[in-house]
Structure 1
Amino acid sequence: MATASRRSRDRGSRGEARLPLPSVRGADQMTRPIVLGAGPAGSVAAMLLARAGAEPILIDRQVEVGDAICGGFMSWRTAASLRALGSDPLTLGARPVTRLRQYSGERVAEADLPEPAYGLSRKALDTALRASAVQCGARLEIDRARSVKEGEIEGERRSWHSPAIFLATGKHDVRGEARARNSGNLALGLRVRLPPSSELERLVGDAIELHLFEGGYAGIVLQEGGNGNVCLALRKSALAEAGGDPWDLLRKVATDNPHFASRLALADAEEPVDTIGAVPYGWTARKTSHGIYRLGDQAAVIPSLAGEGMAIALASGQAAARAYLAGESAELFQRRFAQRAARPVRVAEKLWHLAETSRGAAGLTLAASAFPELARLAMKMSRI
């Protein structure tokens, strides 16, 4: 396949310059593709590149896989992609999710998901995907990137060079290829864990919960072992208004939202609250630097209430690897993937802006209660 690509795909149908595909077996280190970030997007890209014999270098900053704040819910699309890659969510300990339950103040709406989804921690998912990439032949290196530019990653350990860099650093930007931020009040992500209990099982069960409130929303789902994953997205200014204490912010949200309060009461107040700031929801990479394929949240940042972040990560990792193996330029790949991600990101962004106002949240919940099919349609429209 690689030989045919070099022979017949020198230029794209629109006159786009194509990257020459390096010799895959025994490739020189300077020509091997480099994947920066071993999360879902990066690991899947490295896996497919390795299976094709491209001998990718997979760089991550952590020796031990951590538990990222975002991505604890896996839609049916994500589950299908994982199975196609050889991983079954159930074998990783994922908890089946069959319903969406939505709250706004005292209002409650519920709808069946179009297909079963899953709750799974990022630690479990990322560990499995990273191991699969290495097993397929990717070479794992531990280093922290200081900057990225065309053909080079400057790390703390050393500099890495390649004509093809796959930028998969999630919500963390790297100097030289940072995403544009146009809003003065970006989103803030918070995560707190709930220990397993019979009360948590009774309250949440097999549902993915969305708690809508003024200024943001919270998603709650059970994961492997019965743990509850509580993730909030709200305006960054809300933390300052709460005095800068994440727990005070959570308690403030609970004051006006009794259903959320009953879940938060099960948390251990001694546990730290994980935070990530300046999340550019709605951002999409429509262009890129030569030779830099942007994946996952570096390609498109869908508001998390859609539950489609992991699907975008896997889809972008697969699409970028296939584009590279076909000799397709990073610039052409980026435009095509931006077109593919446009609708789900746009739909999710509109729902987010509605959900973060009290009137919009109430309207969404009433509509979902009266017409459950509308909720299922919104779920389908926000899938990649």
Structure 2
Amino acid sequence: MAADPGGSRGAKGAGRPPLPLPAVRRIHSVKAPLILGAGPAGSMAAIHLARAGTAPVLVDRDPRVGDALCGGFLSWRTAERLRAVGLDPVRLGTHTVSELALYGGSRVATAGLPQAGYGVSRRALDGALRDLAVEAGAQLAIERIRAVAPRIVEGENGTWHPEAVFLASGKHDVRGAGRPRVADDPALGLRVRLPPAPALHALLRGRIELHLFRGGYAGIVLQEDGSANVCLAVRKSLLARFGGNPQRLLDSLADEYPPFAERMAHAPPGLPVDTVGAVPYGYIARATTPGVYRLGDQAAVIPSMAGEGMGIAVASGALAARAWLGKQGAPEYQRAFAGQVRRPVRAAQAIWALSETPAGAALMARATRIAPALARGVMALTRL
């Protein structure tokens, strides 16, 4: 996936058509930034740049909108940033979330969110943001990127010479601009989408759930079409215990944790399990190559249990655009953004480390039940 900015995501087709793939290799000169990845981070940058009168090129591999693995929850802070560019999450038919339900071993606790959040598929969110970017004047280019260097971007069909590169390829690294992976037991991402069902809707209505277990956790939230997004972060060693088979792991978790089993009972036989490997949770880009602005997961990767990954994406896109428009260099922007994300990322890491043990998970559930205000304070601490 190293040459796949934006994963399976693409454009909905509003506004101008994408640039066609050339029959032979072409050389492209771009005065405005070349944005690699048309997810929330890249599209947000494109919106700000285009509305400022530039003509950014937004690169993605697929003209059709796909559904990225995780990121199906928008916090209240993220919703504010989206409304600021004219996208009200409610317009997407999102599922409104007002409560956190925390399952730790045999304990369960609930706490109200400081403000309403939203469950939404990445297909709906990415498509809406991409449409806004194209409507604002960004040009969508369909291309698979192979490598990145300052002022040079190599694609399968051409070479680009942009004034600046906005690297917004999500969890997928691009050759020449990879992130370090030094964890002894890295986290892996798994996702299943449970189809709509009245009983499932009754279980999850108005809430986002966190199911904590040894070696990982699962987040569950309803989305705009009534389906439930089940997104897990698990240690590689845990998956290895089941021969690397995600379905065997899910079956084992359902056997051990009855509330999780009650949700997974709505999964039909043969439901696909999407995976992504070696997610560098806790990574923060404190430096970058001149001319390469890192956005979204390329700038910082917060543990997904915090529910702020989309917040980091849209905030970094807006800030990188403003930095470039204000003639702030990429290294200066990167240091400033690293300072902003340090607190929420470190707080989320500490919470995740506590939750990975049975005693820690039980303690978190007990503390949430006794003092819901404490849980709300922790939620606020992990916001950008």
TM-score (norm 1): 0.92
Contact 1:302/1:344 (8 A) holds in 2: yes
Counterparts of 1:1-384 in structure 2, within 5 Å, are 29-384=29-384
Contact 2:29/2:160 (8 A) holds in 1: no
Structure 1 equivalent of residue 19 of structure 2: none
Q: CA deviation at 1:147?
A: 0.8
SS in 2 for 1:301: coil
In structure 2, how many angstroms separate the alpha carbons of the residues matched to 1:135 and 1:90?
20
In structure 1, how many angstroms separate the alpha carbons of the residues matched to 2:91 and 2:158?
37
Contact 1:209/1:221 (8 A) holds in 2: yes
Q: Deviations over 1:93-117 (max 9, x none)?
A: 1110000000012210000000000
In structure 2, how many angstroms separate the alpha carbons of the residues matched to 1:351 and 1:255?
25
Letter in 2 for 1:368: T
Contact 1:147/1:174 (8 A) holds in 2: yes
In structure 1, how many angstroms separate the alpha carbons of the residues matched to 2:185 and 2:54?
42
The runs of at least 4 aligned residues of structure 1 exceeding 6 Å deviation read none
Contact 1:104/1:257 (8 A) holds in 2: no
Q: CA deviation at 1:70?
A: 1.1
Letter in 2 for 1:225: D
In structure 1, how many angstroms separate the alpha carbons of the residues matched to 2:356 and 2:77?
26
Residues 30 and 82 of structure 1: is their aligned pair in 2 closer, same or farther, counting only changes over 3 Å? closer
Contact 1:165/1:292 (8 A) holds in 2: yes
Q: CA deviation at 1:331?
A: 0.4
Letter in 2 for 1:161: H
Question: How many pairs are equivalent?
Answer: 357
SS in 1 for 2:331: helix
In structure 2, how many angstroms separate the alpha carbons of the residues matched to 1:269 and 1:316?
40
Q: CA deviation at 1:63?
A: 1.3
In structure 1, how many angstroms separate the alpha carbons of the residues matched to 2:253 and 2:31?
51
Q: CA deviation at 1:32?
A: 2.3
Q: Deviations over 1:268-308 (max 9, x none)?
A: 23121000010000000000001000000000000000000
Contact 2:95/2:223 (8 A) holds in 1: yes
Structure 2 equivalent of residue 24 of structure 1: none
Letter in 1 for 2:333: F
Letter in 2 for 1:218: A
Letter in 1 for 2:150: E
Contact 1:55/1:137 (8 A) holds in 2: yes
In structure 1, how many angstroms separate the alpha carbons of the residues matched to 2:123 and 2:261?
27
In structure 2, how many angstroms separate the alpha carbons of the residues matched to 1:225 and 1:66?
15
In structure 2, how many angstroms separate the alpha carbons of the residues matched to 1:152 and 1:112?
48
In structure 2, how many angstroms separate the alpha carbons of the residues matched to 1:263 and 1:144?
37
Q: CA deviation at 1:61?
A: 1.1
In structure 2, how many angstroms separate the alpha carbons of the residues matched to 1:168 and 1:269?
35
Q: Deviations over 1:116-153 (max 9, x none)?
A: 00000000000000111011100100111111111111
Q: CA deviation at 1:30?
A: 3.3
Q: CA deviation at 1:161?
A: 1.0
Letter in 1 for 2:285: A
TM-score (norm 2): 0.92
Letter in 2 for 1:51: R
In structure 2, how many angstroms separate the alpha carbons of the residues matched to 1:240 and 1:331?
39
User: Percent of counterpart pairs with the same letter?
Assistant: 57
SS in 2 for 1:224: coil
In structure 1, how many angstroms separate the alpha carbons of the residues matched to 2:320 and 2:35?
11
SS in 1 for 2:30: coil
In structure 2, how many angstroms separate the alpha carbons of the residues matched to 1:75 and 1:189?
20
SS in 2 for 1:376: helix
What are the ranges of 5 or more consecutive residues in structure 2 without an aligned counterpart? 1-27
Q: Deviations over 1:144-196 (max 9, x none)?
A: 11111111111111111112100000000001100011112110100001111
Q: Deviations over 1:48-90 (max 9, x none)?
A: 1011111001100111111001100110011111111100111
Contact 2:57/2:138 (8 A) holds in 1: yes
Letter in 1 for 2:145: A
Q: CA deviation at 1:321?
A: 0.1
Q: CA deviation at 1:240?
A: 1.7
Q: Deviations over 1:330-366 (max 9, x none)?
A: 0000000000000000000000111111111111111
Q: Deviations over 1:238-270 (max 9, x none)?
A: 222112211111111112111001001111231
What are the ranges of 5 or more consecutive residues in structure 1 without an aligned counterpart? 1-27
RMSD, aligned α-carbons: 0.9
SS in 2 for 1:225: coil
SS in 2 for 1:247: helix
Letter in 2 for 1:283: Y
SS in 2 for 1:154: strand
Contact 1:168/1:295 (8 A) holds in 2: yes
SS in 1 for 2:146: strand
